[in-house]
Structure 1
């Protein structure tokens, strides 16, 4: 029996997870010698959709076509929503209603990259585990604190599929294929795709701190992990020192040796980095962003933000909005 997939493309979708998922299905068909998987591409209006890299894809169907097909033989087994940057700007009530119709009819529904936001907005993630890209995790958790989100490569919870984007879409597809055709086919696909292993869903998305920061001192790594885990309610330097079994003076000295700055300065920088992501990825008021990143007042937050980024939080958000509008205008001019 042929399994049918629908890929719904949101403007500015990420090309890598989309193409990785389809290529995995294509290679599976080739290795099997028959069509086990079939797919089609759709968009809201059925018109060309531009990815965040500027590459356009021509859909096979429109949202209206897909809503009609729910009643017939073309009803899909799994719908995967592909989005990318500026996912919060996508507002389509018919699309959300379609997702709920799919769910009510028992169809599989999935998200790739940032599209977990869209499934959450449609009300499909209550009581479900889901995955989302690490960069979007802070904004997602602030917007949907009740949803069980994880920085895993992918999650499959009953009929809801979610993957963090990037090459994680390949891992999720290989997992789906292994359930239906076994490890032999998965190994053959990996050999064709020149990948040496299938990553489990729970594998970390980001590089370990040691590799990411180039830091070798174990105590410093412990301290940074504590800081990253306590951004909304920052720990005092004494609390940090006690937790790692050092004195305050030793922590100060180690940090200056390994990181070239004080622990207080580094802690401030990672809190502001999180704030910058929240400003870019959510519509949270600036004062709420300040509180979420451990600042006691919006004025103190703005002062620190300007010191690091040479602009206020409000200016940062305005500049990003202007950049998004410019990208949209360029895409429109290309389509015309």
Structure 2
């Protein structure tokens, strides 16, 4: 079993277009732990593939940096991802990460860095967190990985989290393991995070959800979200909730100003757009994964909602990726 308290030498592998807020939240938690404890509990290095500072998605860079092959020993390597992750990680990175795993180095990921570990086969049969926007596409691509909607997950020697402030929460778990809850609370207070108001860290939700005042409506929405590939009829949902179809329709109209069927269709189309933009699945497979048995129906519904057919969405996504590559090369 991984000893979290032993993870004191930490490397931050910053890939091009990484999320600055995710990386900074994790790094600053370690710095603050040293400051509050008045001792060097943690050390860290900013690592890049070639030693040259990698620009974050906001255009800024962290330095000084060291090349991955020259970084020296560390207890935990965190892969810092962000936008356009498929173009940020070269094929040889997977081999380097597998070598580190064989040596017993704990591996983790911030934001979309989980994709890099999954592609290297280093998350197979592990629970894993990733930014909620990427959940749909990555689940389709890596069925051996148990992706969960939690802010962060520590499963054996794999530590993964979503973006934003989730890395801070994950680092607080490490700090608590080493210095106790009192030290973690002092770090939280320094960042104006109320320790008493934090939810249990392992239960923090990863995906933002709309506030739904009616519990029946909330359950209906959760059922719809869980049934994208094989959408049940509205009558079936109402029966499972032990309400009438008319009552369910009134709840949707009162609180969301939309019919249940239209809301569910919207969820399926939004999921389809995520898959078209973030996964390599063929357009036909995307339609099937989102509950459309007919390619023509999928294309018509998609174009009606987004103003262009799914095939053009896929071409547009490829163009955006190529443009990002050209920008990074200049």
Q: TM-score range by the shorter chain?
A: over 0.9
Q: Which shows bigger deviation, 271-280 or 1-10?
A: 1-10
Question: What residue number does 1:71 align with?
Answer: none
Question: What residue number does 1:260 align with?
Answer: 257
Aligned: 1:332 with 2:318: no
Counterpart secondary structure, 2:280: coil
Aligned: 1:290 with 2:287: yes
- Following the alignment from structure 2 to structure 1, what is the Cα–Cα distance between the partners of residues 175 and 214? 42
- Following the alignment from structure 1 to structure 2, what is the Cα–Cα distance between the partners of residues 129 and 221? 26
Over 4 Å off, 4+ runs = none
Counterpart secondary structure, 2:261: helix
Question: What residue number does 2:274 align with?
Answer: 277
Root-mean-square deviation (CA), in Å? Answer: 1.8
Contact 1:54–1:331 (8 Å) recurs in 2: no
CA deviation profile, 1:96-154 (whole Å, cap 9, x unmatched): 11111111111111011111111111111122211112211111111111211111111
Q: How does 1:145-294 map to 2 (within 5 A)?
A: 145-197=143-195, 198-199=198-199, 200-209=201-210, 211=211, 215-294=212-291
Choose from 293, 296, 312 the match for 2:309: 312
- Following the alignment from structure 1 to structure 2, what is the Cα–Cα distance between the partners of residues 49 and 91? 12
- Following the alignment from structure 1 to structure 2, what is the Cα–Cα distance between the partners of residues 252 and 320? 36
- Following the alignment from structure 2 to structure 1, what is the Cα–Cα distance between the partners of residues 249 and 157? 50
Alignment gaps of 5+ in structure 2: 1-5
Contact 2:17–2:88 (8 Å) recurs in 1: no
Contact 1:42–1:60 (8 Å) recurs in 2: yes
Counterpart secondary structure, 2:124: coil
**Number of residue pairs matched?**
322
Question: What residue number does 1:69 align with?
Answer: none
Q: How does 1:63-212 map to 2 (within 5 A)?
A: 63-66=68-71, 74-197=72-195, 198-199=198-199, 200-209=201-210, 211=211
Contact 1:2–1:35 (8 Å) recurs in 2: no
Counterpart secondary structure, 1:57: coil
Contact 2:7–2:76 (8 Å) recurs in 1: no
Residue 91 of structure 1: how far off its partner (Å): 4.1
Contact 1:43–1:59 (8 Å) recurs in 2: no
TM-score in terms of structure 2 length: 0.92
Contact 2:127–2:153 (8 Å) recurs in 1: yes
Q: How does 1:44-55 map to 2 (within 5 A)?
A: 44-55=49-60
Counterpart secondary structure, 1:182: helix
- Following the alignment from structure 1 to structure 2, what is the Cα–Cα distance between the partners of residues 289 and 108? 34
Residue 63 of structure 1: how far off its partner (Å): 2.5
Alignment gaps of 5+ in structure 1: 67-73
Contact 2:53–2:65 (8 Å) recurs in 1: no
Counterpart secondary structure, 1:201: helix
TM-score in terms of structure 1 length: 0.90
Counterpart secondary structure, 2:205: coil
CA deviation profile, 1:262-300 (whole Å, cap 9, x unmatched): 211111111000111111111111111111100002221
Aligned: 1:37 with 2:34: no
- Following the alignment from structure 2 to structure 1, what is the Cα–Cα distance between the partners of residues 28 and 148? 26
